[in-house]
Structures are given as structure tokens and as C-alpha cells.
């Protein structure tokens, strides 16, 4: 029976956080319509993840395992996803909005002659079909979008969906899909990959984000922010002005043109709150603003505000957190 | 070498939320007096193309757009930056198209323009942030497609690219013809048009093609329709954490957050 198919991204041998969230969303959709949730598990040496996917909410796992899939080549992965879609015949296909799998969505939509909505925050069921909610105009507006084709494709923004509560006793049916991909030439050749050595928690997945802006005045201040982030097991973010000033690499940029985050707590330290920044963090559960300027736009969207030069606040904030959190 | 850069004119994404209004009945944004600009990622794509041109013999850079009256200005600006030619796909048939329809029309425009080696698009437009039109054009034209690239070079007929990956940079090569979507970086900040560039641009002719010119006889279907458009309210009731001095406020903030039981 056609149902919902989720694209799974495997990172370091496990389903990525975004994949679990998308499975959670699929589970909620399926529970309203009484359908099954399928997961597409594609890659080299990935079959060990099958049970994990069941535990996170999949009823069926479509497995395509091939050494040629060890490197991500979109055109080869596309062929595999096309074959899985032909086998599973889903009416809805959900992708986590994270690289590299999100790259497949538009091209797969084309090949399936299906409409796609990218970067969705949520869905609603209307007349038995899902409609998707997507932020547009840098988060200044929300659009409710309906896909008119028989198959609906969507990519889902990270941290907008709760994963299904893990249940290790769940069992999923396994369907092996053997795609004939040996003769497909690669579209591109990877020459080199320069990865930043990073032990830090990924910005998009962090439950706590500590961000700094123009008001910090220089790169040294980010040391303090890193200290605070470390105590709270969080990640460090930055506004575009801080990145443009060269105080911190662009991989830390939060905003419409940077990373989009929705942590449990977002610290906006010396950030005024330009609309393109708010587009990247407006969905945070709790926003804490520390700023000298009570009129800064960030104050309008903050839950907690401290009107003060951050230099006077941060040391005591860090000390107090260490004291309380180390005790408990 | 023939390079086509697809550009879109959008409402300035930097307009503050208080000046941002929508017409809920029409499900459209009210432009008001906000400026229209070239989508920032498309401007980065223009810059990448113009840098390629500086290192290539016999290289033509064509800016192409689909859109109404406002779009001519974007093409003039692209010409002033240094593009050689401009193509404007302009027809009431093209109004209100979704990503799929837009890609179909642009692909027809590219085909009509003639053989192309490289198509560049911004990674996404700063209005609807769909990020689909580039990859869809690649599918329409059966081109190799590489996304979120910030730097490009051509060597011996092969394209060498640097692209963003999750934790760093990937260097890769692909054959031409190809379609590449461009993201912003310090290496591709758009140049300002020079006075000479502006004068030269005003003398260049913009090629305008309508739906019949492209062999499009009927309105294209929408695969995605807008049911509703609303302005979300991010505003929250703020609690001010006060104290006699900065350190006191800092300590109270920590206590308030711990009391909310939201940490760990």
C-alpha cells in the first residue's frame, strides 16, 4: 500500500538527527491516515542501520547497498531513489533538509513529475492530503503550500520535528532494491576534501546556541562565548556582521544566508537582530538577549533580556552556570 | 565559451519586518516602497561568471531573466557589471509560475539562445528560498549539476569547482556542459558597475522573448500552489533580568534559565 517514504542520511554509521526527525514527522502523518512509514536506506555497508530505523519509527526499510554508493554522487543516488520510489510507490516523500540528501530532492521531483516544497517547518492534513508550511521572505512570512501532483515531495528543516520515541523492540519489513548502477558514469570527481577539524557540536543540531554579533567588538570575545557554550554543551553561532568582520569562520553564521537553527535556548549576545538574522533563529524555543541597547530589534523577540554591556554580564553568567550545573 | 547566468529580481531581503506587508487575499507580498534587487546569490553567480571570463579567451557571459516590467533593471545592472548579452523572458503567461514552470521556461530560453557550456544560478532566491530552479533546469537540459559552489575555474575543457560541504570545502571536477548553483563567499562578492560599464550597458540591446518565441502555447500547470500566506508573530513577552550591576544580572540570568529546566 502506498504510504510515506523517508530518505535516510547515514552519518558515522548511524541515521542522522535529521533523518530521525523526518521519520518522526512521517510517523505523525501516517498515524493520522493509518498508513505505513517506509525508510530508504541507501549507501555502502549501511544494512546494519536497518534495526535502528525500525526503532525510530520505520515499518518498512528499502535497502539499496552497493560499494559504488560509498561516495555521494547525486546522479547515481538519484537512480537508486527512483528505483526505490517505483517499488514503494509512496504518495509522500520526505527528505531531511541537510546535505547531501537534500540535493536529491529537486532532481528526484523532476524525475517523478512531482511537486516539491523545500525547507518545511510542519504539515497539516486537509481533505486527507498534507499541506506544507514553509517560511518565505527570510521568515518574515509563512506560506501554506499544497502540492497538486499525486506524489508530494518535501524537505524538512532540522530541529522542527520531534523524533519518534525510540523503541528497540519494533521490527520493520525489509525490501532489498538492487539498482543497476554499475554502468552509470559519475557526474563529477572529487579531487580533495578539506574538512575543518571540529570536535564541536554541530550548530544545526545543538540544543543550546551561544551567538555573538557586531557589538562584541572583536574576535577575542568569541573565546568567552565558546566557554559558555562548552559549559552548556552547546554550539557557537555568529551574526553576519561578526563573520564579515572576520572574527569567526562563516560556518558559524546564523541567518537567512547562513545556518538556520531552532535550539531550546538561543543566546543573542551583542546582536541587534537584523531581519536576516532573525530568519535564522526566530524559531528557537527560548531566546535570551544580552545587549546594551533596550531598543535593539532582538529585544522584541526575546523571552529573557539583559540590558547591559555583555562584558559585565558574561563572567558572572559563566561562573554561576558552572556553580549550579557542577553541583547537580 | 558560452556562459549563461540566470538571475531573478526580488524584493530587497533586508527590508525590516515592520515595513513588510502582505495581501492575504491575493496571497502576495505588497512591495510598497521596498527596493527591488538582484537576488544576492544570483549576483554572486554573475561575479563568478565574470571572473571566469577574465581568464578565458572568447568567453561570452549572458544574463538571463524571466519576469515582468521590473526585471529589465536587473538585466541592465548585469550588463553594467560586465555581462556581454542579456535575454529577457517576458510574457503574462510566465506570471505566477512555480519552480517547475519557471525552470521549464528558462530551459526553453537557454535552448533558444544556442549551445551553452556553463549555466550558473544562485543556490536559492531570497524571497521563496526554494532552491529548486537550478537543479530543475539541469534536469530539463540533461546537464551535470553541482550545488553550493563558491569558486569555479576552467582548465582544459574541465570545470574545477570549490563547494561548501557540512564541515569544510570540497574540490571537484566535472565535464562541460554543466549547471552550477552558487553560494556567497568572500571570493565572489559582486563587483560594482563602473561608470564606463554603465555607459556601455545602456548601448547594449536586451533580447526579449515571449511565450510563442519559446514555443510555449499554453499556461504551464502549477505543481505547488499557495493556499495561504501569513506573517508569523515572533514577538514574545520579554522578561527583563535586572540587578544592581552586570555581574548580578549575569548570575540572575543563569538562575532564571536553570529554573526553567530547559538546560540539559
- CATH number of the domain residue A72 falls in: 3.40.50.620
Share of chain A above pLDDT 90, in %: 79
Q: What's the mean pLDDT in B25-32?
A: 90
- Are B1 and B59 in contact by the 8 Å Cβ rule? The answer is yes
The residue segments making up the domain with residue A94 are 4-176
Using alpha carbons, list the distances in angstroms from residue B258 to A209, A318, B252: 16, 12, 10
Instruction: Determine how many CB atoms are found less than 10 A away from the CB of residue B194.
Output: 12
Domains of chain B, residue spans: 2-214, 234-264
Return d(Cα A209, Cα A205) in angstroms, integer.
9
Predicted local distance difference test score (pLDDT) of residue A12: 86
**Cβ contact (<8 Å) for A307 and B240?**
yes
Return d(Cα B241, Cα B256) in angstroms, integer.
8
Q: Identify whether residues A220 and A95 lie together within a single domain.
A: no
Nearest CA to A215 among A81, A310, A77? A310
Say which of B17, B224, B240 has its CB closest to residue A140: B17
Using alpha carbons, list the distances in angstroms from residue B47 to B43, B123, B188: 6, 14, 6
More confident residue, A326 or B124: B124
Max Cα distance, chain B (Å)? 73
- Best of A105, A116, A127 to disrupt the B interface by mutation (most B CBs within 10 Å)? A116
Task: Give domain status of residue A189, yes or no.
Answer: no
**Cβ contact (<8 Å) for A324 and B255?**
yes
Predicted local distance difference test score (pLDDT) of residue A198: 62
**Cβ contact (<8 Å) for B228 and A143?**
yes
**Cβ contact (<8 Å) for A135 and B232?**
yes
Return d(Cα A105, Cα A145) in angstroms, integer.
17
Q: Binning pLDDT at 50, 70 and 90, where does residue A187 land?
A: very high
Q: Identify whether residues A207 and A162 lie together within a single domain.
A: no
**Quick one: cell of A61?**
526499510
Q: What's the mean pLDDT in A241-269?
A: 90
Predicted local distance difference test score (pLDDT) of residue B93: 93
Predicted local distance difference test score (pLDDT) of residue B175: 94
Provide the CATH number for the domain around residue A310. 3.40.50.1220
Return d(Cα A254, Cα A273) in angstroms, integer.
11
Partners of A304 on chain B (C-beta within 8 Å) are 238-239, 241, 253, 256-257
CB < 8 Å from A in window 159-188 of B: 160-161, 165-174, 184-185
Return d(Cα A39, Cα A48) in angstroms, integer.
14
Predicted local distance difference test score (pLDDT) of residue A166: 96
**Cβ contact (<8 Å) for A190 and B231?**
no
Partners of B167 on chain A (C-beta within 8 Å) are 195-196, 198, 251
Using the predicted structure, report yes or no on whether residue A326 has a pLDDT greater than 70: yes
Q: Identify whether residues A123 and A171 lie together within a single domain.
A: yes
Q: What's the mean pLDDT in A13-39?
A: 94
Partners of B41 on chain A (C-beta within 8 Å) are 257
Q: What's the mean pLDDT in B194-217?
A: 95
Q: Binning pLDDT at 50, 70 and 90, where does residue B50 land?
A: very high
Task: Give domain status of residue A186, yes or no.
Answer: no
CATH 3.40.50.620 fits B2-214, yes or no: yes
Predicted local distance difference test score (pLDDT) of residue A328: 55
Give B27: exposed, middle or buried? Use CB within 10 Å, 0-12, 13-18, 19+: middle
Using the predicted structure, report yes or no on whether residue B234 has a pLDDT greater than 80: no
**Quick one: cell of A11?**
552519518
Share of chain B above pLDDT 70, in %: 100
Ramachandran region, residue A49 (left: φ > 0; alpha: ψ -120 to 50; beta: rest): alpha
- Are B152 and B146 in contact by the 8 Å Cβ rule? The answer is no
- Best of B97, B164, B230, B247 to disrupt the A interface by mutation (most A CBs within 10 Å)? B247
Q: Binning pLDDT at 50, 70 and 90, where does residue A199 land?
A: low
Task: Say yes or no: B245 contacts chain A, CB-CB below 8 A.
Answer: yes
Q: Identify whether residues A207 and A170 lie together within a single domain.
A: no
Task: Say yes or no: B192 contacts chain A, CB-CB below 8 A.
Answer: no
Contacts 24+ apart (CB under 8 A), B215-218: B215/B108, B216/B91, B216/B93, B216/B104, B216/B105, B216/B108
**Cβ contact (<8 Å) for A286 and B262?**
yes
Q: What's the mean pLDDT in B12-34?
A: 87
Mean residue pLDDT across chain A: 93
pLDDT digits (tens, 9 = 90+) for B79-110: 999 999 999 999 999 999 999 999 999 999 99
Using the predicted structure, report yes or no on whether residue A202 has a pLDDT greater than 60: yes
Task: Give domain status of residue A261, yes or no.
Answer: yes
Q: What's the mean pLDDT in A269-292?
A: 92
Predicted local distance difference test score (pLDDT) of residue B17: 74
Q: Identify whether residues A118 and A248 lie together within a single domain.
A: no
Q: Identify whether residues A85 and A50 lie together within a single domain.
A: yes
Task: Give domain status of residue A195, yes or no.
Answer: no
> How many domains are there within chain A?
2
More confident residue, A138 or A218: A218
Q: What's the mean pLDDT in B197-223?
A: 95
Q: Binning pLDDT at 50, 70 and 90, where does residue B237 land?
A: confident
Q: Identify whether residues A153 and A67 lie together within a single domain.
A: yes
Using the predicted structure, report yes or no on whether residue A129 has a pLDDT greater than 90: no
Q: Binning pLDDT at 50, 70 and 90, where does residue A82 land?
A: very high
**Quick one: cell of B33?**
516602497
- A44-78 per-residue burial string, b: 16 or more CB within 10 A, e: under 16: eebeebbbbbbbbbbbbbbbbbbeebeebbbbbbb
Q: Identify whether residues A209 and A171 lie together within a single domain.
A: no
Query: CA of A190: which chain B residue's CA is closest?
Result: B172
Q: What's the mean pLDDT in A41-45?
A: 96
**Cβ contact (<8 Å) for B132 and A250?**
no
Q: Identify whether residues A171 and A134 lie together within a single domain.
A: yes
- Best of B97, B238, B239 to disrupt the A interface by mutation (most A CBs within 10 Å)? B238
Return d(Cα B102, Cα B27) in angstroms, integer.
19
Task: Give domain status of residue A197, yes or no.
Answer: no
Grouping H, G, I as helix, E, B as strand and the rest as coil, residue A178 is coil
Count the helix, strand and coil residues of chain B and give each as a percent rounded to the nearest 5. Answer: 30, 30, 40
Amino acid at each position: 500500500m502506498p504510504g510515506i517514504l523517508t530518505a535516510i542520511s547515514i552519518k558515522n554509521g548511524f541515521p542522522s538527527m535529521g533523518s530521525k526527525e523526518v521519520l518522526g514527522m512521517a510517523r505523525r502523518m501516517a498515524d493520522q491516515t493509518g498508513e505505513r512509514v517506509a525508510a530508504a536506506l541507501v549507501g555502502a555497508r549501511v544494512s546494519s542501520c536497518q534495526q535502528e530505523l525500525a526503532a525510530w519509527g520505520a515499518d518498512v526499510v528499502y535497502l539499496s547497498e552497493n560499494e559504488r554508493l560509498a561516495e555521494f554522487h547525486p546522479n547515481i543516488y538519484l537512480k537508486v531513489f527512483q528505483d526505490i520510489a517505483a517499488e514503494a510507490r509512496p504518495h509522500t516523500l520526505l527528505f531531511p533538509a541537510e546535505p547531501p540528501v537534500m540535493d536529491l530532492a529537486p532532481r528526484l521531483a523532476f524525475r517523478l513529475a512531482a511537486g516539491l516544497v523545500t525547507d518545511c517547518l510542519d504539515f497539516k492534513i486537509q481533505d486527507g492530503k498534507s499541506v506544507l508550511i514553509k517560511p518565505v521572505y527570510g521568515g518574515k512570512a509563512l506560506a501554506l503550500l499544497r502540492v497538486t501532483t499525486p506524489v508530494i515531495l518535501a524537505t524538512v528543516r532540522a530541529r522542527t520535528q520531534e523524533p519518534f520515541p525510540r523503541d528497540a523492540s519494533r521490527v520493520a519489513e525489509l525490501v532489498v532494491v538492487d539498482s543497476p548502477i554499475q554502468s552509470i558514469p559519475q557526474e563529477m570527481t572529487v579531487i580533495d576534501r578539506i574538512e575543518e577539524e571540529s570536535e564541536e557540536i554541530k550548530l544545526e543540531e545543538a540544543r543550546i546556541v551561544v551567538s555573538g554579533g557586531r557589538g562584541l567588538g572583536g574576535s577575542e570575545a568569541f573565546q568567552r562565548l565558546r566557554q559558555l557554550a562548552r559549559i552548556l554543551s552547546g554550539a557557537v553561532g555568529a551574526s553576519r556582521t561578526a563573520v564579515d568582520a572576520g572574527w569567526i569562520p562563516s560556518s558559524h553564521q546564523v541567518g537567512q544566508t547562513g545556518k538556520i537553527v531552532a535550539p531550546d535556548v538561543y543566546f543573542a549576545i551583542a546582536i541587534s537582530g537584523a531581519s536576516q538574522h532573525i530568519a535564522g533563529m526566530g524559531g528557537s524555543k527560548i531566546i535570551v538577549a544580552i545587549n546594551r541597547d533596550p531598543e535593539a530589534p532582538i529585544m522584541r523577540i526575546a523571552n529573557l533580556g539583559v540590558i547591559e554591556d555583555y562584558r559585565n554580564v558574561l563572567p558572572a553568567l559563566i561562573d554561576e552556570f558552572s556553580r549550579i550545573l557542577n553541583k547537580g | 565559451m558560452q556562459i549563461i547566468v540566470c538571475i531573478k529580481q526580488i524584493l530587497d531581503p533586508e527590508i525590516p519586518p515592520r515595513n513588510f506587508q502582505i495581501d492575504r487575499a491575493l496571497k502576495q507580498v505588497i512591495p510598497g516602497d521596498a527596493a527591488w534587487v538582484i537576488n544576492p546569490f544570483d549576483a554572486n553567480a554573475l561575479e563568478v561568471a565574470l571572473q571566469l571570463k577574465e581568464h578565458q579567451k572568447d568567453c561570452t557571459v549572458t544574463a538571463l531573466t524571466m519576469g515582468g516590467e521590473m526585471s529589465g533593471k536587473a538585466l541592465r545592472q548585469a550588463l553594467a557589471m560586465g555581462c556581454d548579452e542579456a535575454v529577457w523572458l517576458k510574457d503574462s503567461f510566465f506570471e505566477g509560475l512555480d519552480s517547475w514552470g519557471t525552470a521549464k521556461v528558462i530551459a526553453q530560453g537557454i535552448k533558444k539562445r544556442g549551445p551553452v557550456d556553463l549555466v550558473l544560478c544562485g543556490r536559492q532566491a531570497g524571497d521563496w528560498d526554494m532552491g529548486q530552479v537550478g537543479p530543475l533546469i539541469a534536469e530539463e537540459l540533461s546537464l551535470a549539476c553541482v550545488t553550493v559552489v563558491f569558486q569555479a575555474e576552467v582548465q582544459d575543457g574541465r570545470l574545477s569547482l570549490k563547494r561548501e560541504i557540512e564541515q569544510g570545502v570540497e574540490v571537484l571536477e566535472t565535464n562541460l556542459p554543466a549547471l552550477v548553483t552558487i553560494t556567497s563567499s568572500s571570493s565572489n562578492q559582486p563587483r560594482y558597475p563602473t561608470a564606463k560599464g554603465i555607459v556601455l550597458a545602456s548601448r547594449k540591446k536586451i533580447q526579449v522573448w515571449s511565450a510563442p518565441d519559446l514555443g510555449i502555447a499554453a499556461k504551464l500547470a502549477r505543481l505547488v500552489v499557495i493556499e495561504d500566506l501569513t506573517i508569523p508573530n515572533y514577538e514574545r513577552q520579554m522578561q527583563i533580568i535586572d540587578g544592581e550591576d552586570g555581574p548580578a544580572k549575569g548570575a540572575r540570568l543563569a538562575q532564571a534559565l536553570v529554573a526553567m529546566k530547559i538546560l540539559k
